[in-house]
Structure 1
Amino acid sequence: MPVEKMSWEEALDHCRVHHNDFGSVVSETENLLALSEVQAQGVDRVWIGLRYLVDRWLWVDGNPLEYEAWTMGGGQDQECPLWKRCGALTNEGLWENRDCQEELNFICY
């Protein structure tokens, strides 16, 4: 995981140029593996390859969104976000929707 922080789009470009792709967390096992990376870096949250497009949340690498680990209380902002259309993984192993322009650390695969 890079030390520098980037917007979601910048992180996506970085992952696709320097690695394979942006991190998708498609199972509880992958969520735990990603969480261990977050905790090892000592950060609060990292971008993952989750994006709200058209009318649903999608993984940018094409994986289906079958496993979910959203924070409690996301409500309408999570179900139909106006501004917070990019996904992040917290250091508690939960997903949040955040403003895509925010600069966070991120996970590439």
Structure 2
Amino acid sequence: MTKFDGEGRWTNVSCDNKKPFICYDDKFILIKENKTWEDALYYCRDHHHDLVTITNMDDQRWIQEKVKNASTPFVWMGLRYTCTLDLWFWVSDEVVRYKNWALDGQMDDCDMSGAMDTGGGHQWKKKKDTEKFNFFCSKN
């Protein structure tokens, strides 16, 4: 096995040596197809789990790294506005606690959903459901 020695060099060590390691679960996937918000929702539910829910800064940062590979100026998230209840909600039923709205991004209009800006600050903006963007699915 080859490992990084911490001084800028790779060294060979026996595979019998037990060492700590970091494991991560890549639970988000960028779909580089242009779809309306509703079509993106059905695609994620049919092929993966759901449109992505961002509940904390760690999820935000993880998606920010992946969003750089998008081919559209925004990517859909599982964030939706309901006129009936006058609130934003995640399609996963998570409460919207963590927020990363652009200053002009969150206006309460019917038929709007949340999308992340793929450049700059990766902030959230409301977009018409009929616009077509890449999107993020959650895997579980």
Q: Normalized against structure 1, the TM-score is what?
A: 0.89
Query: Residue in 1 aligned with 2:66?
Result: 37
Q: Report runs of 4+ in structure 1 exceeding 4 Å deviation.
A: none
Alignment match of 2:79 (pick from 24, 39, 50): 50
Query: Residue in 2 aligned with 1:89?
Result: 116
Tell me the percent identity: 30
**Letter matched to residue 116 of structure 2:** L
Query: Residue in 1 aligned with 2:35?
Result: 6
Q: Normalized against structure 2, the TM-score is what?
A: 0.70
Tell me if 1:71 matches 2:102: yes
Give the whole-Å Cα distance in 1 for the aligned partners of 2:47 and 2:117. Answer: 24
Which one has more relative contact order, counting CA pairs under 8 Å at least 6 apart? Answer: 1
Which has the larger helix fraction? 1
Instruction: Choose 89-98 or 14-23, whichever is displaced more.
Output: 89-98
Larger Cα-atom Rg: 2
Q: Which runs of 5+ in 2 are unaligned?
A: 1-29
Aligned length: 105
Q: CA RMSD in A?
A: 1.4
Query: Residue in 2 aligned with 1:25?
Result: 54
Decide whether the 8 Å contact of 1:38 with 1:44 is kept in 2: no
Query: Residue in 1 aligned with 2:108?
Result: 80
